[in-house]
Amino acid sequence: MVMGDPGREEYKIQSFDAETQQLLKTALKDPGAVDLEKVANVIVDHSLQDCVFSKEAGRMCYAIIQVNNMPMMALVNPVYDCLFRLAQPDSLSKEEEVDCLVLQLHRVGEQLEKMNRQRMDELFVLIRDGFLLPSGLSSLAQLLLLEIIEFRAAGWKTTPAAHKYYYSEVSD
């Protein structure tokens, strides 16, 4: 089953049960008519189980935000859940997952912290522990984790000294 209005993006939701499919259809047409937190949780849970669906999930969330014409507050906790998953030891052992974690924190970390500082503190405990504990991290993963720890400590800004340290190879 593929859903979508003519001229709009189409979304593949056939892997969901009938009730969830209806919830997603309604959310895409009229976000105010559904519990957006429930929608976000369904999408994120499915994305965590099926990485192929993740791209589709991002497109769906973006479409819902556009229809709603405002940031989707309901996504704060699911986004945190995804970041917590990326901060687990098995994910930290994969450079591409560390890169994803750090990139997302650069993009939305400051806003997420404003929404829920306690969860950000808990996330950075995992990041710190992942950096400090000998878990076979690559040197690139260690560098990325250290950089994001310093980035947050500096108020979500890169100091000139940190920029020179972390990015000197890039500018040469």
Question: Using CA atoms in the order 79, 81, 84, 86, what is the torsion angle rounded to 10 degrees?
Answer: -70
φ, ψ dihedrals at 117, nearest 5°: -65, -35
Mean pLDDT throughout 133-162?
Answer: 90
d(CA 82, CA 69): 24
Nearest by Cα to 9 from 62, 81, 82, 87? 62
Domains delineated in the chain: 18-167 (1.25.40.180)
Greatest mean pLDDT range, 12-21, 103-112, 157-166:
103-112
pLDDT > 70 in the chain, percent: 84
Q: Are 71 and 62 in contact (CB under 8 A)?
A: no
Q: Please write the tens of the pLDDT for every residue from 67-100.
A: 665 555 767 888 898 899 999 998 898 899 999 9
Q: Is the pLDDT of residue 165 over 60?
A: yes
